[in-house]
Structure 1
Amino acid sequence: MDGSKWKANASKHKAMSYGRMEEAMKKLDEQIDRLLEEAAALDAEEDKRYGKGQRGDELPEELKDPKKRAERLREAARQLEAEKKLELAVEKEKRREKIGKAKQELEEEAKKKAEAQGDNPEEAKPSEKAQRNFTDPESRIMPRAGTFQQSYNAQVAADADTQLIVAQEVGQSASDARQLSPMVEQVEANTGLVPKELSADTGYLSQEDVEKVEDKGVECFVATGRSKHGEEAPPAPRGRPPAGLSFKERMKRKLLTKRGRKAYARRKVTAEPVIGQVKNTVLPRFSLRGLTKVQGEFSLACAVHNLKKLWKLGWELPSLAAQAA
């Protein structure tokens, strides 16, 4: 298994934190009020000069008098200014509504999380740094390629012998924790088989999740930390594991054995290349917006990847005659 952050069809510059939302809405309210007051003042001035409902340019003879033409143009300019102010006020009101909706969504998420944890949902408040994007509200800020971008977290389970994708998922959490068990269940649902072994990097290390998978008869090889480049690996342990080792210590010891090293090394030529192949040749970034749509888009990309692999493996569709027989 492996996961990767996939760039969403949204910019992080179109996002706002919960802490800034209230302040932004107050400023927009002030701007809207000022623009509407200016537009109303211009309308009142025109009504006073030309009469209510009159624009001042109704009489065609004004065009015949050069002295009045400049004044007519000035009045037309004032009218355009008033219309522009009204248009800006409408745009700012729409933006205010978007911010209000994003703020409400963050508060609802905080309440649901508090309720799931057994806390009082009415007292729950989002973190001041919690963000919502206005282009794709369901995408999330995630670390990607040394920076932070609006992204989704895509998961892939690949067969070690063929590099065929046997399970895939797209989620909103930047963490890979608690993903092993759902993916193994999907592998079983898709293929009718349970894998003998599973390898994954340190992001998937969760005792509860690993134990759920191992209860199905799957042996897990999950990294317990990142090795430094060029660092010499410690010698393989021998004999039975010492008593009293923690879950993490037992996993670390297993990965240091010859069998553990061999099993984990296969991940580097299985899941990691698959992620790179899908990202570089099929789906560099998402084009659609919203979790449901990007899940469908990623599923299609994985299907394309599998078809290419099957073709290289010499797989052919059965003929229509064979199907009819």
Structure 2
Amino acid sequence: MSHERMLKSEAQLEAEIAALLRKAELIDAQEDARYGKGKRGDELPKELQRRQDRLDALRKARAELEAEAAADHARRREQQARAAEEQATEAAAAAADDSDKINTEGEVSAQALAKEAQQAERRAKAARGRAELARRLAIEKAQAAGLSNPDPLSSVDPLAMPSRNLPTTSAGDPKAKAQRNFTDPGSHILKGGDGWIQSYNCQAAVDGDHQIIVAVGVSNQAADQHHLLPMVERIVANTGQLPEKLIADAGYCSTSNIEASEQRGLDAYLSTSRQAHGKRPRPSRGPAPRDLDARGRMDRKIRSKAGQAIYALRKIIAEPVFGQIKGARGLDRFLLRGLEKVNGEWSLMAITHNIGKLHRAALAAT
């Protein structure tokens, strides 16, 4: 291209660019007047935008629900694996103890025990494999959901309160009726005095002398029995000792809780059945049978004259505290959402309850 042509082409292009810019400015002004400043007119309608937001929230909640279900499934598989490994250890110990017998009858017994130990070992290995597979799947789903702690077995804290158990399939997927709340995912549908409500399960351990709350906890697990041992650990953490006696209603009674209390030397009084208001169970008489299981031993203990007198104290120790907080002070619902914030609210309620009790005790002592 010659120099003369270069000059002409340059001037022509500059004129065309200026014309395009003027045209663009005019179109922008017309679109701003028609659609609003900064909009082009091809945006999604508000109705479609809202549905897209809803779809995003729905997908996020589904991923979190699937991750929670997988974590619950992994924890159950881990418990099953540990139980199978304990059984295998016990079977191996029994086989080792019997292997020293040299007579014919003892030899047959030792062989049978050794075979049982091998079978128990195979069951334990299979259970451990299922637990590891469930754990890996739970981690994958937690990472897909963007959760901060993807490993459901990363920490085993005896002070931790239980979490709700979602209904899951054998593969760890949530069943069709598993639910998750959009506005407060940490809560759960629980049975209350007025029917089913979206709520939390609040626990409190109360001393028998002054109705002072010595331990609290909050969870979204409906069944009370899973809270007994964590609450005992919190009592010990706060007071430095086991309670002299522990009284709890039938909701906390289970064979595992009774056996754990006996192993720790805890003098527990757990009602083995729901008692009608104002009625006491028929007292137990005579010596206890030797072949009673844990629940049978607790039933005899709670139905003895001494046991009934001790269990009756629950009506003047623990129950009034909840009435004082909910009825007298009107603290019958939480203002915040989320397990951590609700736990803070419940702790604050307990602290102010204790301050009131200590204040009245100090006044009575003067």
TM-score by structure 2 length? Answer: 0.61
Cα deviation, residue 230, structure 1: 6.0
**2:73 aligns with one of 103, 114, 117:** 114
Residue 224 of structure 2 is matched in structure 1 by 176
Give the whole-Å Cα distance in 2 for the aligned partners of 1:57 and 1:170: 54
- State the alpha-carbon separation in 2 of the partners of residues 187 and 230 from structure 1: 30
> Per-residue displacement from partner, 1:257-295 (whole Å, max 9, x unpaired)?
111001110111111111121223162211111101111
1:146 Cα deviation after fit: 3.5
- One-letter amino acid matched to 1:173: Q
Alpha-carbon distance in structure 1 between the residues aligned to 2:42 and 2:185: 32
Q: Which moved more, 1:117-126 or 1:305-314?
A: 117-126
**Counterparts of 2:257 and 2:284, CA distance in 1:** 25
TM superposition shift of 1:243: 2.0
Separation (CA, whole Å) in 1 of partners of 2:339 and 2:32 = 54
Aligned match of 1:166 in 211, 214, 219?
A: 214
Who is 2:260 aligned against? 212
Alpha-carbon distance in 2 for matches of 1:305, 1:196: 23
| Structure 1 unaligned spans of 5+ | 1-50, 59-74, 77-81, 317-325
Alpha-carbon contact 2:258-2:295 (below 8 Å) kept = no
Q: Which residue of 1 aligns with 2:175?
A: 127
Counterpart residue type for residue 86 of structure 1: P
Aligned to 1:145: 193
User: Offset at 1:112?
Assistant: 1.6
1:53–1:169 Cα change, 3 Å? same
Q: Where is the strand percentage greater, Structure 1 or Structure 2?
A: 1
In the alignment, structure 1 residue 103 sits paired with structure 2 residue 69: no
Q: Would the aligned equivalents of 1:153 and 1:170 in 2 still touch at CA under 8 Å?
A: yes
Contact kept in structure 2, 1:196 and 1:217, CA below 8 Å? no
Higher-RCO chain (CA-CA 8 Å, sequence separation at least 6): 1
Structure 2 Cα separation of the partners of residues 95 and 56 of structure 1: 29
Is 1:277 matched with 2:236?
no
Q: 5 Å matches for 1:68-87?
A: 86-87=45-46
What SS does the corresponding residue of 2:298 show, helix, strand or coil?
A: helix
In 2, Cα distance between equivalents of 1:84 and 1:177: 54
RMSD: 2.7
The TM-score with structure 1 as length reference comes to: 0.69
Equivalenced residue count is 246
- After superposition, the Cα gap between the structure-2 partners of 1:172 and 1:57, relative to the gap in structure 1 and judged at 3 Å, is closer
State percent identity of aligned pairs: 40
The answer for unaligned runs of 5 or more in structure 2 is 1-25, 36-40, 78-129, 138-170
The offset of 1:89, in angstroms, is 1.7
1:57 CA displacement? 11
Q: Following TM superposition, by how much is the alpha carbon of 1:239 offset from its aligned partner in structure 2, in angstroms? A: 3.0
Contact 1:282/1:301 (<8 A) preserved = no
The 3-state SS of whatever aligns with 1:132 is coil
The letter of the residue matching 2:184 is D
